[in-house]
Chain A
């Protein structure tokens, strides 16, 4: 339906109604997987580790990495949502400890209350997250401070509950979960896959996902379009709390009892994973796919360094350096400088150019 008006449109031409297939594929890949260069970095790290770390390239170690990655992946999914909103959740570590100790405390070695031992921490995580979200949405208080406060409160409760010592014990069948394998994969990984699929669908295919990006990009724009900004924020933080509690339960399958500091470090690691995966902290950008690459990168580095007997102190330093590099790269891509280098295709110099097609309405192809 390209109506031509000879008087105003001298050059009759077909108007493009869809993006070029190439661009479309590129965007879809980016939405579901995140920036490909992050996966490239992961592959490069694997190759380096294979050649430099002696016991790295064994089937058991791969399984181990995947298994270790699951708790961080869970926390990072929730964190990713919050960061897309332009927020941040520093309470995930404490909520994770809560999930771990509470489920172990309720179970306490018996199998009678497994269901309750799972549902109660999850519900509590959801509530804590919702409270975070409500305060952030309804007051001008920065998410950073609000969730830091929540972290402190929750961790205090955990210490009180556990008397600052390992607490409770898993039911037998539950404890086995951390070591069982379904086919070639650890049970935890198999259980994680549908959760990841669901999260990806929510990100890409639902209104909730769209709204999170819109709110993160500019919440006033979203509000004027009729999006219930408060609801989006509360729901996203609530899910983040939920995932943190779930991660705590996942960790519990692998430890003999509830650890009051089970979540320590997961706040920083989850934020790092999300940022390595291409998100920006001002919001509006980020993907769960990229976050998963970030999670694997962090886990792999930890694993390789442990195999190499690097002291935990240096591990922390190395992780810090890597995150800083990622943040700088992300900032540069946002500014298009590095983006241009990465998208640079030398062959373009030899191709005929598609010009800035002068149009009556705008810079269409050129912009």
Chain B
């Protein structure tokens, strides 16, 4: 055993994050750690990594318990962590981040040896299949690329134990495969890995052993061969989740005037001639590879400004048959468009504010009389939503920043679900959300659709895309290349359309 964790207990005020948790990890082992949102997985991670101190319990790493007093000490001992919330400095380059705190010096002239740093980092980026340069500023990377940079950092420390807290939550599936391949190579050479995820498929793909936490306690620990998917879910959630996706009860009325219509929407350099319409009550999925322009389309509809003023948005957006000019989030919200962005930290949440404040934010006018916020009404709405989405929080007055990752995501969703809107755009709504809560979210989205909301769902999670959508559009290189009815669509047909599109779609990729 390289790591032995015994009877760890940790409380935050009244919240019992961990209660007597134990965990053993052997050399060369991939140990999956799963559990509901708020089960205590990340807290355990931070304690092992020296970023947080346990109230009670022992941890021994390679037979000694010295290593764990601070992040620096844990790193020096060979424990490296890929945190759930990205831990990179936006103002430094990728290389600068990977070597932050241990920059190599130039032998003769002194100063930081940028060249050596870049070389070493480039080797890792190559190995992981990353396509961004080592001297790019992290602030300019997409969420998926950031995640990859974060993983590269974890690996570049050359650790004996690598802890990965939902490393693939915002990673494109193809990139995830590549990461897994690298992990397999390294574990074959003796690296131990603690792998936290909500994607049970990854657990069975990668892990040798699995431990389930429930409400801060050990619920199950077994070799992977001895458990199956159903058993795992039951241990996590405490009940069986048979049907992840709610049945489609009503046929959307496609003859009716569309709630949202795009005509030849073009943002030069990002997407071109995107046209489609969504009927009231219809859920339209937008599939395709990360970078195919899906998020751009969503942001354009919502009125998020493009990076360069030289790129004017062309084409028409119609909401309920009326032309709508996306001028910015305010006008979009007014027009009844809700948007759950991909980058939830940047655009979705006020981390320092309470759960209630966050949920009430998009509908403040409605909750106020004569400009004064009615606290009672605000709380009532927040309480209803936390209940409905089973957001695990000590109360609606808790700071969102203190919630577990998955529960933060649920708050983002609650914001818009509570308000209700004409058109709801969901960009990757469920990374980091546990199975049980996913089922709840799907149910809510379906319910909103049944009440007449038009939903545009962008997701890299193919089962989710297919299970929830009435119709699936596939984007590739900034164009819509296929339209599939839900009954006819399969994971293969969506992927095939996406890749075919890459080979044949004209135009958007220039000589570069």
Q: What residues make up the interface of A, taking CB atoms closer than 8 Å to B?
A: 1, 3, 8-11, 15-19, 24, 27, 201, 205-207, 210-211, 213-214, 216-218, 220-228, 284-285, 336-337, 340-341, 343-346, 348-349, 352-367
For the complex, what is the distance from the CA of A364 to the CA of B118, rounded to whole Å? Answer: 18
For the complex, what is the distance from the CA of A223 to the CA of B50, rounded to whole Å? Answer: 11
Q: Is the interface of A mostly helix, strand, loop or mixed?
A: loop
Give which listed residue, B90, B97, B511, contacts A284 with CB less than 8 A.
B90
Known: A16-B132, A24-B135, A211-B100. 16 other contacts (CB 8 A): A3-B126, A3-B129, A8-B177, A10-B499, A18-B134, A206-B110, A214-B92, A224-B49, A225-B101, A355-B477, A355-B478, A355-B507, A356-B271, A358-B289, A360-B129, A362-B148
Question: Contact: B142 with A205, CB < 8 Å?
Answer: no
Question: Contact: B309 with A353, CB < 8 Å?
Answer: no
For the complex, what is the distance from the CA of A287 to the CA of B214, rounded to whole Å? Answer: 49
Question: Contact: A356 with B269, CB < 8 Å?
Answer: yes
Residues of A within 8 A of B323 (CB): none
Give which listed residue, A285, A353, A354, A365, contacts B91 with CB less than 8 A.
A285
Residues of B within 8 A of A361 (CB): 129-131, 144-145, 148, 171-172, 174-175, 178, 290-291
Q: Which of B81-89, B367-375, B391-399, B404-412 contacts A (4 or more CB under 8 A)?
A: B81-89
Q: Which residue of B lies closest to A11 (CB)?
A: B502
For the complex, what is the distance from the CA of A17 to the CA of B131, rounded to whole Å? Answer: 8
B240 within 8 A of A: no
Known contacts A10-B502, A213-B89, A363-B142: A356-B131 contact under CB 8 Å: no
Known contacts A226-B71, A364-B291: A353-B269 contact under CB 8 Å: yes
The B118-133 residues at the A interface (CB cut-off 8 A) are: 118, 122, 126, 129-133
For the complex, what is the distance from the CA of A18 to the CA of B87, rounded to whole Å? Answer: 23
Question: What is the distance, in angstroms, from B493's C-beta to the closest C-beta of chain A?
Answer: 16
Question: Contact: B145 with A363, CB < 8 Å?
Answer: yes
Which A-B residue pairs are the 8 nearest by beta carbons? Answer: A355-B508, A226-B101, A360-B174, A362-B145, A205-B111, A363-B142, A362-B144, A225-B100
Please, could you name 18 A-B residue pairs with CB atoms under 8 Å apart, sorted by A? A8-B177, A9-B174, A11-B509, A16-B131, A17-B134, A19-B136, A201-B111, A211-B100, A213-B91, A221-B87, A222-B89, A349-B310, A361-B130, A362-B144, A362-B172, A364-B131, A366-B142, A367-B141
For the complex, what is the distance from the CA of A220 to the CA of B401, rounded to whole Å? Answer: 14
Known contacts A225-B87, A360-B172, A363-B291: A210-B310 contact under CB 8 Å: no
Give which listed residue, B96, B118, B269, B507, contacts A366 with CB less than 8 A.
B269
B293 within 8 A of A: yes
Question: What is the distance, in angstroms, from B226's C-beta to the closest C-beta of chain A?
Answer: 32
For the complex, what is the distance from the CA of A358 to the CA of B89, rounded to whole Å? Answer: 25
Residues of B within 8 A of A346 (CB): 310
Residues of B within 8 A of A19 (CB): 133, 135-136
Question: Contact: B83 with A224, CB < 8 Å?
Answer: yes
Question: Contact: B175 with A344, CB < 8 Å?
Answer: no
Question: What is the distance, in angstroms, from B459's C-beta to the closest C-beta of chain A?
Answer: 16
Question: What is the distance, in angstroms, from B91's C-beta to the closest C-beta of chain A?
Answer: 5
Question: Contact: B269 with A217, CB < 8 Å?
Answer: no
Residues of B within 8 A of A364 (CB): 131-132, 142, 145, 291
Known contacts A222-B89, A226-B72: A1-B141 contact under CB 8 Å: no
Q: Is the interface of B mostly helix, strand, loop or mixed?
A: loop
Q: Which residue of A lies closest to B507 (CB)?
A: A355
Question: Contact: B100 with A222, CB < 8 Å?
Answer: yes
Question: What is the distance, in angstroms, from B102's C-beta to the closest C-beta of chain A?
Answer: 7
For the complex, what is the distance from the CA of A232 to the CA of B208, rounded to whole Å? Answer: 42
Interface centre among B49, B91, B112, B178 (most CB of A within 10 A): B91
Q: What residues make up the interface of B, taking CB atoms closer than 8 Å to A?
A: 49, 51, 71-72, 75-76, 81, 83, 87-92, 96-97, 100-103, 105, 110-112, 118, 122, 126, 129-137, 140-145, 148, 171-172, 174-175, 177-178, 268-271, 288-293, 295-296, 305, 307-310, 476-478, 499, 502-503, 507-512
Question: What is the distance, in angstroms, from A194's C-beta to the closest C-beta of chain B?
Answer: 16
Residues of A within 8 A of B112 (CB): 205-207, 210
Known contacts A336-B307, A354-B269: A362-B141 contact under CB 8 Å: yes
Question: Contact: B131 with A359, CB < 8 Å?
Answer: yes
Question: Contact: A358 with B83, CB < 8 Å?
Answer: no
For the complex, what is the distance from the CA of A360 to the CA of B508, rounded to whole Å? Answer: 16
Q: Which residue of A lies closest to B128 (CB)?
A: A361
For the complex, what is the distance from the CA of A337 to the CA of B90, rounded to whole Å? Answer: 19
Known contacts A210-B100, A217-B92, A363-B144: A358-B133 contact under CB 8 Å: no
Question: Contact: A356 with B293, CB < 8 Å?
Answer: yes
Known contacts A17-B134, A358-B477, A361-B145: A341-B309 contact under CB 8 Å: yes
Question: Contact: A207 with B293, CB < 8 Å?
Answer: no
Question: Contact: B503 with A11, CB < 8 Å?
Answer: yes
Question: Contact: A340 with B307, CB < 8 Å?
Answer: yes
Interface centre among A201, A352, A353, A355 (most CB of B within 10 A): A355
Interface centre among B291, B503, B508 (most CB of A within 10 A): B291
Question: Contact: A17 with B122, CB < 8 Å?
Answer: yes
Residues of B within 8 A of A365 (CB): 512
Q: Which residue of A lies closest to B503 (CB)?
A: A10
Question: Contact: A214 with B509, CB < 8 Å?
Answer: no
Residues of B within 8 A of A337 (CB): 305
Question: Contact: B268 with A353, CB < 8 Å?
Answer: yes
Known contacts A213-B91, A224-B83, A226-B75: A359-B269 contact under CB 8 Å: no
Question: Contact: B101 with A217, CB < 8 Å?
Answer: no
Known contacts A3-B129, A222-B101, A358-B477: A348-B91 contact under CB 8 Å: no
For the complex, what is the distance from the CA of A359 to the CA of B148, rounded to whole Å? Answer: 13
For the complex, what is the distance from the CA of A345 to the CA of B309, rounded to whole Å? Answer: 9
For the complex, what is the distance from the CA of A225 to the CA of B135, rounded to whole Å? Answer: 18
Give which listed residue, B75, B140, B291, B295, contacts A357 with CB less than 8 A.
B291
Q: Which residue of B lies closest to A286 (CB)?
A: B91
For the complex, what is the distance from the CA of A205 to the CA of B511, rounded to whole Å? Answer: 36
Q: Which residue of B lies closest to A360 (CB)?
A: B174
Residues of A within 8 A of B478 (CB): 355-356, 358
Question: Contact: A224 with B293, CB < 8 Å?
Answer: no
Residues of A within 8 A of B270 (CB): 355-356, 366
Question: Contact: A360 with B142, CB < 8 Å?
Answer: no
Question: Contact: A214 with B91, CB < 8 Å?
Answer: yes
For the complex, what is the distance from the CA of A192 to the CA of B33, rounded to whole Å? Answer: 58
Give which listed residue, A207, A354, A359, contacts B289 with CB less than 8 A.
A359
Question: What is the distance, in angstroms, from A351's C-beta to the closest C-beta of chain B?
Answer: 9
Q: Which residue of B lies closest to A205 (CB)?
A: B111
For the complex, what is the distance from the CA of A18 to the CA of B268, rounded to whole Å? Answer: 25
Question: What is the distance, in angstroms, from B401's C-beta to the closest C-beta of chain A?
Answer: 12
Question: Contact: B101 with A18, CB < 8 Å?
Answer: no
Question: What is the distance, in angstroms, from B347's C-beta to the closest C-beta of chain A?
Answer: 13
For the complex, what is the distance from the CA of A345 to the CA of B311, rounded to whole Å? Answer: 11
Residues of A within 8 A of B135 (CB): 18-19, 24
Question: Contact: A352 with B510, CB < 8 Å?
Answer: yes
Q: Which residue of B lies closest to A367 (CB)?
A: B142
Q: Which residue of B lies closest to A345 (CB)?
A: B310
Residues of A within 8 A of B72 (CB): 226, 228
Give which listed residue, B100, B293, B295, B310, contacts A348 with CB less than 8 A.
B310
Residues of B within 8 A of A336 (CB): 305, 307
Question: Contact: B111 with A367, CB < 8 Å?
Answer: no
Interface centre among B101, B131, B175 (most CB of A within 10 A): B131
